[in-house]
Structure 1
Amino acid sequence: MKKVLDFVQRFDLLPRYELLLAAASGGMDSMCLLDFLYENGYRVCAAHYNHQLRGQEADMDEDLVRAWCAARRIPLCVGTGDVAAYAGENGLTIEEAARKLRYDFLNSVAGQTGAARIVTAHHANDNAETVLFHLARGTGMAGLAGIAPKNGRLVRPFLCLTREELAAYAKEHHVPYRTDATNADTALTRNFIRAEVLPKLCRVNAQAVEHIGETALRLRQEDEYLDSLAAAYLTELKMEAGAVTLPCAAVTQVPAVLRSRVLRLALDALGAGKKDFTAAHYDALAALCAGSGTAQLDLPGGVTARRADGVLTLCAHRRETPERVLLRAGETVRWGGFAITCRKCEKTVENSENTVILRGAALDAPLSVGAWDVRESMTLPVSRGSRSLKRLFAERGFSPDEREQTPVIRSGGAVAAVYGIGTDALFLPTDGESVCVLTFEKTAE
């Protein structure tokens, strides 16, 4: 696997002496990933998420991952969730809901374990399929750039390998894996591209998958460069609480090829989600800047754009930050979008994505839940010293609104844990002592 090791070194994906969290579904790709990390001497733990979508088949996937990890003494954390119910409650497709819950779980486990990287087994075929999907749907350069080798602490060392190369590795190394029968359902767009479109492109050129990946990588580099050019037009951007302002001339005088980028970067500064933004929305924003007088535009994600006196103001309507609440053993409190139950137990309980486990002594001082403070920091397990909450949130891609709504647990005023980030090393329980268990249940606010 020299090809992978070279790719890893090129993009600085896998720090040799830090803990890596491998996402393991039980399929061929992720089982090869586990085997590769283990055989090459990386410090690795694994996480498996059961989506409760395939009944006994999903349980058998979990059993395989459990057995493989147990035989090699690789720590494994298993999570589960009712994806179908979550999709219905939140107006998402099954695929969107599964991805959201799975990555929430992976980020939570990484926080609890102190893993430096979350490693997934996306490969060159996945990348090519993503590019083709975005191309058919309509996209800009960022969509044609495909899957990034590295996005914060999320890394994908197998992007340099085709599916056929992974299959050969699995055969040569006797890697066990499970096959998801739903992958053969070509009624699903991704599966149709995989089974029908990409093979036909490979008839045009046998190396179509590799060439699409190489093109995507070049486009990613060019996209990043164009973003740096667009950022130069934001020198007059000002930030206030929940709003950013920019002279309309700073938009209208930008070369047309960069105009949407300037507006996107302004929305990034606002911390607004851009999932539902289309080219039409950016065109409407540009037209708003080019007009005169006072006018207003409502945009996706609760964003409002207003033009007045030659200034563009972008506002995000965010929820109020909840006040701090005391936590007591045997009680359940509501904070933000969570119901939080506090228990004191005499022995260690199994960790999960919805729990935070502290040493029992944390209850000796006033224990509370509240919003973060920009001045605070914490030390995660296996971490090299204290790190600010601001940096930890940024590394995990939390938007400003998500930061304000994330529960921070304090004992005697010191940060003991941050939900979805991890537990401070000083508050981790040791063998033989009682523990404080906090269970988080998401609720409608």
Structure 2
Amino acid sequence: MKKEETVKILDEVLEFSKSKGLFDCGIIVVGLSGGPDSVALFHILKGLRNCFDISCDIYALHCNHHLRPGVCDEEAKLVSDLCKENHVELKILDFDCKGFAELNHISEETAGRVLRYEAFEQYAKALEKATGKTVRIAIAHHKDDVSETMMMNLFRGSGLEGLVNPKPVNGRIIRPLLCLKKSELVDYLDILGVSYAIDQTNLTTEGTRNTWRNDIFPKIAESYGDPTVPLTRTYKLLSDDLDFINSSAAEAYCKGRKLISGYPVLAVSEVTGIHKAMKSRVIRSLWLETFGDLIDFEESNLNDCFGLIDNGAGGEVLLDMPFGRKAYRFGDIFAFGTEDGVKELACKIAEDKGFLVAGGPVSLEISLPEDGETEVKIPNSAYILKTRIIENACELEYNNHSWFCPIEALAEGKITLGNSAGTGSALRMKRAGSNGSKELNRLMTDLKIPESARAQILFVKKDGDILWLPGFGHGLGFTNAVSLDKYIASGQDGAGSGTFVRIALERQ
């Protein structure tokens, strides 16, 4: 490669990256391992910046996995020296990759990938907060990586997504070198006279990628020529097909997706009948929106989700997913989350139906206000309990979370605001004007409230009877003008006294 050809390399990367919108940001963080690929990426981006072809600020991030004693530290020093020479801010992070792999029962290679990409995301967010600029992470994948990954995934039985991988842009991750071969990158560095580290383990045939790179591909080349040429062409054709399919899948996802108090879920009725190819992408889209990645979400997990969606569910169903995550089905709702996350979702479903929930046990005795009005923080919740004596009917103010109780009820005995968390008590509710009562858990079933949320729902009770269930109704007193008229007409004790206690639950 001649000197002028280094300029051609810069132009090729610039044209490719602009066509994909890779440099539409304020900061680019280079994932800098110290190997030839990442060092070439570093110098190419610096070259484009110095020529004013791009205006992004350049930063670097190095992850030391400590898997090769001594060598990893040498690479960290090489990277540090490189950044100092080029006046680029560098952040070095140290990981116990082996320990993380053992803890999560995954390979060290997978552990390194997970830790790296988590570090990229955290560093990018920190930079965005500090600078106010949009941050993207540049990774040094090239054409040879595309070919290797395509064949590895093909023999794993992958679909289109695995064959069209890695992509030029994925979230904040960008790959400006997918237009170049590794040999071009090495020649580029040799012309510049730049030093780089060589990972000796990459020269062996140990590991699946090394087997393809150092054994299978050279044998294919003997008979058919460089395999990256036809594989790059196939990658382009499949990319076009995948773009069209993903566009259709995005429309299906938008149709089936809804938010429950900000939590993304799928309406099962909207996705049950769609083609399996669309359904798989809709499910992956929900996983991606929920967790921000598709790491280790595999075909077996997808098939479990198909079964959960297609086979119906009488109540709440949870399935185990990678990294302790869960797939959740309740009625027409399908979602992903952590174990705590799906419990929170169940409470959000109850809240979406008008009920009020607490995060833990609540038992708060309600007494007559001594000074006419009291205000008490409800434990384990975001609500305040307010009580006020009302002696003038003109002072009545109604809302969805207030109840008017005849003052005699508070005088006669203990009334409690609470929930059934941790009590296991059997409570019943008789709605005002109804001839019969119903056990609370049965009532929750009829109202389609998730079982895991039922114990958190707030109510006012006296002995074993629920007097007021916010979001559903009351068994005594009234909550609005219509129920006031019915209460007076009923002739119940205290109906004509005109003195009530207004009990209200208000969010802080």
Aligned partners of 1:253 and 1:111: how far apart in 2? Answer: 39
Question: Does residue 35 in structure 1 map to residue 43 in structure 2?
Answer: yes
1:10 pairs with 2:31: no
- The alpha-carbon distance between structure 1 residues 293 and 162, as it changes in their structure 2 partners (threshold 3 A), is closer
Q: SS where residue 340 of structure 2 aligns?
A: coil
User: In the aligned structure 1, how far is the partner of 2:283 from the partner of 2:112?
Assistant: 31
User: Could you tell me whether the CA contact under 8 Å between 1:29 and 1:122 is conserved in 2?
Assistant: yes
Quote the Cα distance in structure 2 between the aligned partners of 1:158 and 1:33: 7
The higher radius of gyration belongs to: 2
1:128 and 1:146 in contact (8 A); partners too? no
Q: Which residue of structure 2 aligns with residue 185 of structure 1?
A: 204
Secondary structure of the 2:82 match is helix
Residue in 2 aligned with 1:78?
92
Quote the Cα distance in structure 2 between the aligned partners of 1:112 and 1:233: 34
CA 1:172–1:119 in structure 2 vs 1: closer, same or farther (change >3 Å)? same
Shift of the alpha carbon at 1:87?
A: 1.8
Q: Does the alignment pair 1:151 with 2:160?
A: no
Q: Give 1:191 deviation, angstroms.
A: 1.0
Kept after mapping to 1: 8 A contact 2:39/2:196: yes
Of stretches 251-260 and 27-36 in structure 1, the one that deviates more from structure 2 is 251-260
**Residues 272 and 288 (structure 1), Cα distance of their counterparts in 2 relative to 1, 3 Å cut:** farther
Q: Counterpart of 2:448?
A: none
Indicate which of 273, 281, 284 corresponds to 1:264: 284
Stretches of structure 1 that go unaligned for 5 or more consecutive residues are 322-445
Kept in 2: contact 1:285–1:305 (CA 8 A) = no
Q: Which residue does the alignment assign to 2:139?
A: 120
- TM-score normalised to structure 1 length: 0.63
Q: Contact 1:124/1:161 (CA < 8 Å) preserved in 2? A: yes
Maintained 8 Å contact 1:21/1:47: yes
Which one has more relative contact order, counting CA pairs under 8 Å at least 6 apart? 1
* Structure 2 residue ranges without an equivalent (≥5): 1-8, 129-133, 343-508
Letter in 2 for 1:98: G
Verify the 8 A CA contact 1:299 1:305 in the aligned structure 2: no
Change over 3 Å in CA distance of 1:287–1:20 after alignment to 2: closer
- Name the aligned partner's letter for residue 23 of structure 2: L
Q: 1:319 aligns with which of 322, 331, 340?
A: 340
3-state secondary structure, aligned to 2:178: coil
Listed one character per residue, the Cα deviations across residues 349-368 of structure 1 (whole Å, up to 9, x for unaligned) are xxxxxxxxxxxxxxxxxxxx
Q: Which amino acid aligns with 2:334?
A: T
Match of 1:162? 181
Q: Deviations over 1:316-346 (max 9, x none)?
A: 344269xxxxxxxxxxxxxxxxxxxxxxxxx
1:259 partner letter: K
Distance 1:59 1:265 in 2: 39
Take 1:74 and 1:269, find their aligned partners in 2: how far apart are those partners?
A: 33
Corresponding residue for 1:254? 274
Q: For the structure 1 residues 255 and 236, does the alpha-carbon distance in structure 2 shift closer, same or farther, using more than 3 Å as the test?
A: closer
Cα shift at 1:141:
0.8
The 1:272–1:23 alpha-carbon spacing in structure 2 relative to 1, beyond 3 Å, is: closer
Residue number in structure 2 paired with 1:194: 213
Partners of 1:175 and 1:69 in 2: CA distance: 13
**Alpha-carbon distance between aligned partners in 2 of 1:8 and 1:303, rounded to the nearest angstrom:** 37
For each residue in 1:63-106, what CA deviation from the matched residue of structure 2 results, as whole angstroms up to 9, or x when unmatched? 22222222222222222122112222232211112122222333
Query: What's 2:501 paired with?
Result: none
Relative to structure 1, the CA distance from residue 318 to residue 179 in structure 2 (aligned partners, 3 Å threshold; closer, same or farther) is same
- How many angstroms does 1:207 deviate by? 4.1
TM-superposed deviation, 1:143: 0.6
Structure 2 Cα separation of the partners of residues 213 and 10 of structure 1: 17
- Asked if structure 1 preserves the Cα contact closer than 8 Å seen for 2:147 and 2:231, the reply is yes
Displacement of 1:169 after TM fit? Answer: 0.9
Contact residue 119 and residue 155 of structure 1 kept, 8 A: yes
**Please, which of 205, 212, 221 is the counterpart of residue 224 of structure 2?**
205
Q: Counterpart of 1:216?
A: 235
Q: What count of residue pairs does the alignment treat as equivalent?
A: 317
In structure 2, what is the Cα distance between the partners aligned to 1:34 and 1:208?
A: 27
User: Percent sequence identity over matched residues?
Assistant: 28
The CA distance in 2 between the partners of 1:137 and 1:130, in whole Å, is 10
Asked whether the equivalents of residues 138 and 175 of structure 2 are also in contact (C-alpha less than 8 Å), the reply is: yes
Structure 2: which amino acid aligns with 1:84?
K
Q: Does the CA contact (< 8 Å) of 1:272 and 1:316 recur in 2?
A: no
- Aligned pairs for 1:217-366 within 5 A: 217-234=236-253, 235-240=255-260, 244-248=265-269, 250-268=270-288, 271=291, 275-287=295-307, 289-291=309-311, 294=314, 296=317, 298-301=319-322, 302-306=325-329, 308=331, 311=332, 313-314=334-335, 316-319=337-340
- Give yes or no for the alignment of 1:87 onto 2:98: no
Structure 1 residues 293, 149: closer, same or farther in 2, change over 3 A? closer
Is 1:52 aligned to 2:70, yes or no?
no
Cα displacement (A) at 1:213: 2.6
Instruction: Tell me, in whole angstroms, the C-alpha distance in 1 between the residues paired with 2:111 and 2:244.
Output: 33
Contact 2:32 2:38 in 1 (8 A): yes
Q: Distance in 1 between matches of 2:159 and 2:143?
A: 20
TM-score under structure 2 length normalisation:
0.56
SS of the counterpart of 2:70? helix
CA-based RMSD:
2.9
